[in-house]
Structures are given as C-alpha cells and as structure tokens.
Amino acid sequence: AQSVTQLGSHVSVSEGALVLLRCNYSSSVPPYLFWYVQYPNQGLQLLLKYTTGATLVKGINGFEAEFKKSETSFHLTKPSAHMSDAAEYFCAVTLYSSASKIIFGSGTRLSIRP
C-alpha cells in the first residue's frame, strides 16, 4: 500500500526567503505524485503533479517539485516566498490502477513572516 509522509507540520519562513516543504512517499509501484494547497475555508487546489517523464515539475504560483526515486521524495520548493503563500500544503500519491483514490499526507502549514 502507498503512503505519504510530510516532514514538519508547520514551517515558517520570511517573505522573500526560500520555501522548502518536504514529502516522502512509499509505493510498491511507480506512483503519481501531487501537491495541493488549501486556503482557509476553501477546498484543495492542485499546485503541480508528477506522472511520468521529466522529474522536475513546475506548477502554479512559482512552485516546483522534483521527483527523486532513489530518495522516494517529492519536495516542494519556491525560490522566494510571498505573503499570499501562507496556507496548508498537502502532498499526495495515487496509483494509476486506482487513480482517483488519492492518499494524502498530514499537511504542512506554511506561515510567512513579514
């Protein structure tokens, strides 16, 4: 069975600083990997996804993530944090055989300091 571990339930960075949110996955077969963002009182918005091909994927709002099979990681980064990035971020995994059954990590709350 697949699973996702997000390291750090809360990350705080200064505005303009690098954002790094960590995600490790466990899967017996090549997974599809996702990052979602959730703003207060809203649903989830897809930031980016990895399915096959290029291991560095770019998403919306300047975020990107790199799939590293050897490290079973899919960390999310953004070079320069903006106040509007403050939100909850979820890493998620699914398998093509049950593609709609997404397994989510526990989430990381990102705070931005002025």
Partner 1 sequence: KAGVTQTPRYLIKTRGQQVTLSCSPISGHRSVSWYQQTPGQGLQFLFEYFSETQRNKGNFPGRFSGRQFSNSRSEMNVSTLELGDSALYLCASGLDYEQYFGPGTRLTVT
The residues of the shown chain that bind partner 1, judged by CB under 8 A, are 32, 36, 41-46, 49, 51, 90, 94, 96, 98-107
Choose between 17 and 88: whose C-beta lies nearer to partner 1.
88
For the chain, give the secondary structure using H, E and C: CCEEEEECCEEEEECCCCEEEEEEEECCCCCEEEEEEECCCCCEEEEEEECCCCCEEECHHHCEEEEECCCCEEEEEECCCCHHHCEEEEEEEECHHHCCCCEECCCEEEEEEC
Give the pairing type, strands 108-113 and 10-14: parallel
Kindly tell me which of 17 and 49 has the beta carbon lying closer to partner 1.
49
Residue 80: CB minimum distance to partner 1, A? 27
Q: Which is nearer to partner 1, 37 or 81 (CB)?
A: 37
The least CB distance from residue 114 to partner 1, in Å, is 27
Smallest distance, Å, CB 27 to partner 1?
13
Q: Report the nearest approach of partner 1 to the CB of residue 29 (Å).
A: 14
